[in-house]
Amino acid sequence: MALPTLAVHEIADAILGCVCSALDETAAQIDDYPGCPCRACVVPGTPAWDGCADPCTGDVGGQLTVSTVRLYPSRNFPEQDTNIQGVRGCTPPPVTAVEYLVTLLRCAPLPNANGCPPTCDEQAEAARIVHIDSTVIMNALLCCLPGTSSSRRGRKFVLGPSRIVGPEGGCVGVEQRVTVALPGCGCPSEGVML
């Protein structure tokens, strides 16, 4: 089955909204936790690390992005289909697997004006926030993604590894991969392509 035209972007947007909402809910429960950054976007390709310190006129600084890493056909999700296509007309696999990358960057502690490294307390606070971020992102995906499908069984997905990134360029954060199964629809020649 062919993939509906807007499906990839709609799921990316749903992931962004879900994670941002979960970050804000966590900020309401945990003291000194910043919540969702004001810079929260679905981005094309690899996210640029250019917004981790942007306080956006007094709002929460940092950068939350959702990007699409790759799409591939799958007959046995999450495995990639390697069957030859085009032999029998329009016979795409029943699922398109889409790998997304959720990236959340925050300011990293920097050396002071004298060139002294950040204190252990500053490092510990940055680590605390990154650890909370990684847990919130993982929990948000586990709780929200099943509800993004009209299927009675919910949406199929595989949560990939979570990785702490940085510090680099004054930023530190977390990357979380998730692969989502998107069902198809009829072939374009059948007149039901969305």
What mean pLDDT is predicted for residues 132-141? 98
pLDDT at position 74: 86
User: Is 137 a member of any domain?
Assistant: yes
pLDDT at position 92: 67
User: Is 85 a member of any domain?
Assistant: no
Domain total of the chain: 1
User: Is 142 a member of any domain?
Assistant: yes
User: Is 189 a member of any domain?
Assistant: no
User: Is 87 a member of any domain?
Assistant: no
Phi, psi of 66, rounded to the nearest 5 degrees: -125, 125
72, pLDDT greater than 80: yes
What's the domain range around 122? 6-78+92-183
pLDDT at position 194: 40
User: Is 191 a member of any domain?
Assistant: no
% of residues, the chain, pLDDT over 70 = 84
48, pLDDT greater than 90: no
User: Is 129 a member of any domain?
Assistant: yes
List residues bridging with 148 in a β-sheet. Answer: none
Confidence of residue 41 (pLDDT cuts 50, 70, 90): very high
Tokens 């329009």 found at: 90
21, pLDDT greater than 60: yes
- The Cα-based distances of 168 to 26, 63, 66, 98 in angstroms read 26, 14, 20, 28
Q: What is the pLDDT of residues 76-107, one digit of tens each?
A: 888 887 777 667 766 666 788 999 999 999 98
Determine whether 54 is exposed, middle or buried from the number of CB atoms within 10 Å of its CB (0-12, 13-18, 19+).
middle
User: Is 190 a member of any domain?
Assistant: no
% of residues, the chain, pLDDT over 90 = 55
Question: Crossing angle of helices 7-29/120-144, nearest 10°?
Answer: 130
What mean pLDDT is predicted for residues 163-185? 90
153, pLDDT greater than 90: no
What mean pLDDT is predicted for residues 159-174? 93
